[in-house]
Amino acid sequence: MLIIKVEELKSERRMLRIREVLPWKTFEFRGEMHRVLQPIQVDISVHREEKDIIVNGTVRTVLEARCDRCLTKLELPLKGEIEAVYKRYDPAKGPMVISGELKDCDNVIYYSDDEIDLTDRVRESLLLEIPMKILCKEDCKGICPYCGANLNEEPNHKCTRMYGVRAQESKFSVLKTLKL
């Protein structure tokens, strides 16, 4: 469970350790579901400083992804970091203006319940680690834009379809067919 019961942290000296293996089978990023290839391992420590709850930890997993250039399936190992400060927010005191403070430090989160759910922190920490460009290797050659052949496997690929397209586009191709 990724839920912290605030009551358990009443004593300031108390440190909670959350070590969990999450049963998530898939993980969503870039608007698509991706298979979780190695169980998501969470190791988080939680302690209290006055009314703030300080959360630190790591999240590890391996996700299935596809190379952005050649579309080959690959394993994407991720190690995310969690660093967050939960501050007590008392709803009885009315709405709180938090925008200014959040700008300075966006890992400050406000809590008002007796429980804090860390699920979103786990998800964020992994999302932050997903590279802008996912590549099977640095120099991936990608695929042929005409027929989709993998150019890593066929480095000397000469596309017959490419010539086909060009021939059709060319006015001379008509003449060629007439001659035949």
The residues binding Zn ion (CB under 5 A) are: 67, 69-70, 136, 140, 144, 146-147, 149, 159
Closer of 106 and 139 to Zn ion (Cβ): 139
Least Cα distance to 55 among 111, 137, 136 occurs for 111
Least Cα distance to 128 among 84, 78, 85 occurs for 78
Closer of 6 and 144 to Zn ion (Cβ): 144
- What tokens does 164 get? 């086909």
Smallest distance, Å, CB 163 to Zn ion? 10
Closer of 18 and 144 to Zn ion (Cβ): 144
Beta strands per DSSP E along 25-166? 26-29, 32-49, 52-66, 73-88, 108-111, 115-117
Least Cα distance to 53 among 6, 20, 8 occurs for 6
Smallest distance, Å, CB 76 to Zn ion? 12
DSSP-derived secondary structure letter, 26? E
Smallest distance, Å, CB 145 to Zn ion? 8
Smallest distance, Å, CB 48 to Zn ion? 47
Closer of 81 and 148 to Zn ion (Cβ): 148
